[in-house]
Structure 1
Amino acid sequence: MKHAAFMTISALAFGLLSPQKSIARQQPNIVVILADDMGYSDLGCYGSEIPTPNLDKLAQNGVRFTQFYNTARCCPSRATLLTGLYSHQAGVGHMMNDQGPDHEAYRGQLNNKSVTIGEALKSAGYFTAMSGKWHVSFDFNVNPANRGFDRSLAAPNGGFYYADKRSRLFLNGRELDVNNAPELPKNWYTTDIWTDYGLKFIDEALTEKKPFLLYLAYNAPHFPLQAPESEIAPFRGKYLQGWDKVREARYRKQIQLGLIDSSLKPAPGNPIIYKWDTLSDAKKKQYDDMMAIYAAVITHLDKEVGVLIDGLKKRGVFDNTVILFVSDNGGNAEPGIEGRYDGAHPGTVNSDVYIGQGWAQVACTPFWMYKHHTHEGGISSPAIVSWPAGIPKERNGKFEQQPAHLVDILPTLLDLAHATYPSEYNGNKIQPLEGTSIRPAFTGKNIDRKNPIFWEHEGNRAIREGKWKLVAERSERWQLYDLEKDRSELKDVSRQYPKVAADLEAKYNAWYTRVHAEPYPKPLNSWFYDYTSLKSGE
């Protein structure tokens, strides 16, 4: 294996031996890392007090995006990342429930009018691999093994970290016995095995002398929060100061880092969240423990990113590997104010811990709202790009202010791989890409974005064009914000700029029709919606 890796490296370094070698030299390796339910401020390099030294170092030697967007929810974000289409166009307009043939945007699975990053790059000569949470259906052959990935270790859904009744794993499309499979280590933890198998797949790519694409979809830090006790213990007591003080500290650190300007004021605290000083000592201890487990899950994720980076370096391929790290939605406030806490065995294999709204608000610092929602807290991701061979050293540690979105990932990978996007694939007509390559931003150039960015989830909606954002929760009227001056969405200027608002609304309505979006049929959930207008005192 070492010999095969050395031969691959030599070919990349010196290989003008043939036109094919020259082409391979121009194709970087690519790793796309997706975190699950990680808020905008949850990494140290985005303001957090949680130690994330490996991702911080990746940012110091790469580029951080300040305005990278997701779709506000797990399944739609994965569909968008995988296809370069809005999730409705890919068939995953909501989650994985199939609404039937009369609702083509809501079939709950990737359709055949899309191609995945695996299919697109495999056609360009890449060895394609996926490790982690799939969550765009495992039915009807919609799984990594049948959607372009040469190798995969995948979970159909998330919801677990250790082997238990909820866990299912598939190796190259074949289901494993999660408790007894010889392919799995004893007492495995998902974050570890996703990384380990990712490196195994990379070794296969090197043996085959192919550039590789690894889609590494961690399920951390999604609930139910579970982590080794030895990693939780150091955080206990650190959060007894309460969510308001932790949020304020993150905001100050974001200014210090240069992530945000001091003129950007944080969105006000949600008025329905408990005031920390009114809680009993027992409740404070409980919420401290919940956040300690969350912090441990994130530090463990960072540790495994370090294992991946070390593995790439040992194999001699780190410098010419593009690593893109991003999250699928904002911090998670489910199932409401209380969160969820298993006081008997918190953090263990049988525990079921959710951080709740108070800590989710911290995760989304300095913005308003969380996962599910199209205000900035719900759709803003930390996003880091590393590529030593392709990003000039003078760009190291820089912030990139241009907006980007998950819909841009496939176009970017095509650009990096010198690959073409098909108009037909496996006999099916393929929809045109919606995103654009953000590769120019790696080197400080302008992204050639010709169209607005759109959102719709559960009736929450938004459109972003230039500095303007038109946004509304399901229960609200449209609001207009100038994000150059007001990223935290404090001052609605729709009455000052009615023509701008009307133009954006018309573009949004045309998009909504084109992607076959539909009204969300379920009743309003009070903890999500009843207080949305309180932010601005309306």
Structure 2
Amino acid sequence: MTDLSASSSAGDNGQDAYAGFPGRIGRTISESVPAWPAERTAPQGSPNVIVIVVDDLGYADLGPYGSEIATPHLDRLAADGVRFTNYHTTPLCSPSRAALLTGLNPHKAGFAFPANSDPGYPAYTFTLPDNAPTLAETLRERGYATFALGKWHLTGDRLQHDGASKASWPCQRGFDRYFGALEGFTSLHAPHRLVWDNSPYPVQEFPADYYLTDDLTERAIEMISTLRAADADKPFFLYLAHAAVHGPVQAKAADIADYDHVYDVGWDQIRLDRFRRQLELGLFDAGTVLPPSNRETALDVPPWDSLDEDQRRRFARYMQVYAGAVQAVDASTGRLIEHLERRGELDNTIIVVTSDNGATAEGGPEGTRSYYSQFAHIAELPDDWQRDVDRELALIGGPQTTVHYPRGWGQASNTPFRLYKGHTFAGGIRVPLIVHWPDGGLRGADEDGIRRQYAHVTDVTPTLLDLIGVAPLAARHGLAAPQIDGVSAAGLLRDPGADQQHDDQYTETGGRRAYQRGHWKIVTEHRPGTPFDDTEWQLYDTEADPTETQNVADSHPEVVTELATAWERAAWRNRVFPLDDHGPASSLRRPDDDRFAGTIDLLPFAGTVERWRSAQLVQHRDVAITASFRVAAGDAGVLVAHGDQGGGYLLVVDTDEQGEPIAWFGVNAYGVVHRTSPINLAPGENELLVLLRALPGFRLEALLTDGAVVTGLADLPQLVGMAPFTGISVGADRGGPVDWELHRRAGSHPFSGVLHNVRYAPGVLSDEAPAERARVWAEGVRIYD
């Protein structure tokens, strides 16, 4: 140690060089240099954590839960880990994800419903509370690296555009890195908008073999490898939220081919076979009853034998695609396992695999090859609205179609339970949960790894923190954190005979309600548009009757009263009121959102405008679209495109047989492309005007003119709901193509001339617009009140 008080530090005149610096004379380096601030480090030997959530996966869709779908890697995790047979989530996606990542009940977390409306109710804020730390925020504070990939859906749709606050985006909620789609779902072959960290990830066009499930997996491995190149010991938390198998259901051709003819036997036989295997696996007691096929109005499933040959062939293909998508998720999990094994980290990694809700009935009785048409949740759509646009059988599941299976397959996916996603019966909320951690001593050598005790999605965060040995953050942004609603299931993981810890739980979505206390459960099946207090409670003993086949409310009225009172108390504590069954209030939007429907000039740029922001310019209103450009001989390309194979429109400069420039406008009507006749263009400066007119009955008229010649399309369906899904692209058709034939010929077809700008001048909302009807309804309510 050098003593700085020695003469070597003195000036030429013999005076100390540190004169004028009080307190420094005579001090050594060790005494004078301040200590480095302590790094935030995880406890020694802390495990990595991987949480894999598969969207809309039914209880019986994995091999360890009775499925015929090949899931060898998930089978392995279950065989070496723990399977919960009585794990419950919420009936819908965003609420489940909010509950999983915070440990709070979903209404309290601001997500009573998926993040695609804005009625202004306290439980519908669609941003996580400022004072509620996420699991990622707690773990990052404790020294973990944190990564998120895939579906987020914890940001309201109005806050996903590039000018919005990013306070509710993944990197602001505890994740160091993020790659995926903020929206609730997307195309697996051509995602509508990918985000990398806090910025859109521009894609000119996707490779022919692109598949999102694979991309997410490779990027997850890349994130882990990048971390390990810098720090060999730092634990990580990886949240991998697969968009599969939410609609539109899509799969790779090879995976689809693996299930040729498997589903020709139909959903009734598949359901019976899955139930038989579930009994063999010991998931249920031998006396458990498989309920009859769902019979509720608009939720019923016809016998497979009652279908005609064409229906059976098409419906079997739908399930082939679904199985292929699940198989791809399993292969994705296998690649992660292999990577962890190569690094010697598998045994000290907690891997959780689950679903956010039960399988869905949103495909309707027939399924659909045009998902965005089927998914248009507008009560006033005419009876002749085409929800299934005819497409070739071989295209189903590939990049040219947006499909979903009929609800008969949703029933089979939820075997042995009743009803579907969105319902508070077990089919909507009882899902797989696999936990794997060899170093954690979760499973004894002489036991089967099955846990039959009740557990809930709010238990995931406290369980993982308990296993790791860290406490949740006490505050966030200077605000005291709310008490977590979930409880740790760590004891259940380590001891199959441990007492159940989570004994009371309310559920609500769209006015459908349930309450579980011990083995008793009350449940309602509210019908939208009917009074909430007209709904009768049903009562089930879930220990003796896990499939909810015997309503015993009449013989135990005191239990019904007790649990109904408990539900109401829980509802008040958790901000469940006012109840909303997705009537007019669900279409309300805050008044300042009207600014997004103003005239806007778009210049060419590398990406696309976000979906919701783009929709404000065109949906349920007339709009004038003006493109100003310069063209020379041989120039061609897309001036503006909006949408993809699920529905959209585009304006194109092309060439005729003589090589002269022409222009045409095309509309993809949920899978069928319509083109105007062409307009000849003169070399030099040009201006084209497209008029889109929203006609009564949700019909659409399109006119194209250069000021002299007018051509057009008449009597098309309006693009509503989630269509167009890919946002506006200027100067090319980026991402998923609107017109497949043009895409096959020219790819994204960037315009080779000079595009000055594209102007959107929207008109007022039509009287049929859900937001306009909601406004009229709300004003009437205020007047009445």
* Alpha-carbon separation, structure 1, partners of 2:450 and 2:70: 20
Deviations along 1:159-186, one digit per CA (max 9) or x if unpaired, are 334453x521111112101346xxx987
Normalising by structure 2, we get a TM-score of 0.61
Specify the alignment match of 1:87 in structure 2: 106
Higher strand share: 2
Deviations along 1:383-402, one digit per CA (max 9) or x if unpaired, are 11100101244266421011
1:97 shift after superposition: 3.6
SS of the residue corresponding to residue 322 of structure 2 reads helix
Query: Which moves more between the two structures, 153-162 or 471-480?
Result: 153-162
Specify the alignment match of 1:265 in structure 2: 289
Pairing 1:230–2:254 present = yes
Specify the alignment match of 1:132 in structure 2: 150
Specify the alignment match of 1:414 in structure 2: 465
* Alpha-carbon separation, structure 1, partners of 2:490 and 2:204: 42
Letter in 1 for 2:416: P
Q: Assess if the C-alpha contact under 8 Å between 2:189 and 2:250 holds in 1.
A: no
1:446 shift after superposition: 2.5
Pairing 1:352–2:374 present = no
* Alpha-carbon separation, structure 1, partners of 2:224 and 2:476: 26
1:187 shift after superposition: 4.2
* Alpha-carbon separation, structure 1, partners of 2:479 and 2:182: 25
For residues 253-402 of structure 1, what are the structure 2 equivalents within 5 Å?
Answer: 253-271=277-295, 272-341=300-369, 343-344=391-392, 345-390=395-440, 391-394=442-445, 397-402=448-453
* Alpha-carbon separation, structure 1, partners of 2:40 and 2:362: 50
SS of the residue corresponding to residue 239 of structure 1 reads helix
Specify the alignment match of 2:216 in structure 1: 194
SS of the residue corresponding to residue 412 of structure 1 reads helix
* Alpha-carbon separation, structure 1, partners of 2:347 and 2:207: 30
Specify the alignment match of 1:146 in structure 2: 172
Deviations along 1:396-452, one digit per CA (max 9) or x if unpaired, are 642101111111111112212322223321123322100011111111152562651
RMSD: 2.2
Letter in 2 for 1:481: Y
Deviations along 1:185-241, one digit per CA (max 9) or x if unpaired, are 874311112111212222244333311111111111111111111211221211111
* Alpha-carbon separation, structure 1, partners of 2:448 and 2:345: 21
For residues 47-58 of structure 1, what are the structure 2 equivalents within 5 Å?
Answer: 47-58=66-77
1:507 shift after superposition: 1.1
Specify the alignment match of 2:269 in structure 1: 245
Higher helix share: 1
SS of the residue corresponding to residue 88 of structure 1 reads coil
- Residue number among 225, 238, 244 corresponding to 1:214 in the alignment: 238
Letter in 2 for 1:240: D
Say if 1:430 and 1:484 are closer, same or farther in 2 by CA, change over 3 A.
same
1:21 shift after superposition: 12
- Residue number among 478, 491, 498 corresponding to 1:427 in the alignment: 478
- Residue number among 54, 71, 76 corresponding to 1:35 in the alignment: 54
* Alpha-carbon separation, structure 1, partners of 2:499 and 2:314: 46
* Alpha-carbon separation, structure 2, partners of 1:186 and 1:336: 30
Q: Assess if the C-alpha contact under 8 Å between 2:42 and 2:143 holds in 1.
A: no
Specify the alignment match of 1:454 in structure 2: 506
Letter in 2 for 1:413: L
* Alpha-carbon separation, structure 2, partners of 1:163 and 1:127: 30
Tell me the matched-pair count: 501
The structure whose Rg is larger is 2
* Alpha-carbon separation, structure 2, partners of 1:108 and 1:135: 9
Relative contact order: is structure 1 or structure 2 higher (C-alpha 8 Å, sep ≥ 6)? 1
Say if 1:438 and 1:261 are closer, same or farther in 2 by CA, change over 3 A.
same
Q: Percent identity?
A: 36
Say if 1:427 and 1:75 are closer, same or farther in 2 by CA, change over 3 A.
same
Q: Assess if the C-alpha contact under 8 Å between 1:340 and 1:355 holds in 2.
A: yes
* Alpha-carbon separation, structure 2, partners of 1:479 and 1:249: 29
Query: Which moves more between the two structures, 123-132 or 233-242?
Result: 233-242
Normalising by structure 1, we get a TM-score of 0.89
* Alpha-carbon separation, structure 2, partners of 1:21 and 1:504: 45
SS of the residue corresponding to residue 513 of structure 2 reads strand
Specify the alignment match of 2:202 in structure 1: 177
1:495 shift after superposition: 2.1
Specify the alignment match of 1:484 in structure 2: 543
Letter in 1 for 2:362: E
Specify the alignment match of 2:130 in structure 1: 112
* Alpha-carbon separation, structure 2, partners of 1:409 and 1:118: 12
1:75 shift after superposition: 1.0
Structure 1: where are the runs of 5+ without partners? 1-18, 525-538
SS of the residue corresponding to residue 445 of structure 2 reads helix
Deviations along 1:6-51, one digit per CA (max 9) or x if unpaired, are xxxxxxxxxxxxx999963342111011011100000111011111
* Alpha-carbon separation, structure 1, partners of 2:119 and 2:181: 24
* Alpha-carbon separation, structure 1, partners of 2:417 and 2:491: 27
Pairing 1:498–2:549 present = no
* Alpha-carbon separation, structure 2, partners of 1:125 and 1:62: 26
Q: Assess if the C-alpha contact under 8 Å between 1:456 and 1:462 holds in 2.
A: yes
Pairing 1:67–2:86 present = yes
Say if 1:470 and 1:162 are closer, same or farther in 2 by CA, change over 3 A.
closer
SS of the residue corresponding to residue 244 of structure 1 reads helix
Say if 1:333 and 1:98 are closer, same or farther in 2 by CA, change over 3 A.
closer
Q: Assess if the C-alpha contact under 8 Å between 2:486 and 2:502 holds in 1.
A: no
Specify the alignment match of 1:527 in structure 2: none
* Alpha-carbon separation, structure 1, partners of 2:399 and 2:137: 35
Say if 1:268 and 1:448 are closer, same or farther in 2 by CA, change over 3 A.
closer
Specify the alignment match of 1:439 in structure 2: 490
Say if 1:34 and 1:98 are closer, same or farther in 2 by CA, change over 3 A.
same
Say if 1:91 and 1:260 are closer, same or farther in 2 by CA, change over 3 A.
same
SS of the residue corresponding to residue 123 of structure 2 reads coil
Q: Assess if the C-alpha contact under 8 Å between 2:49 and 2:237 holds in 1.
A: yes
Q: Assess if the C-alpha contact under 8 Å between 1:436 and 1:448 holds in 2.
A: no
Q: Assess if the C-alpha contact under 8 Å between 1:163 and 1:179 holds in 2.
A: no
Letter in 1 for 2:138: A
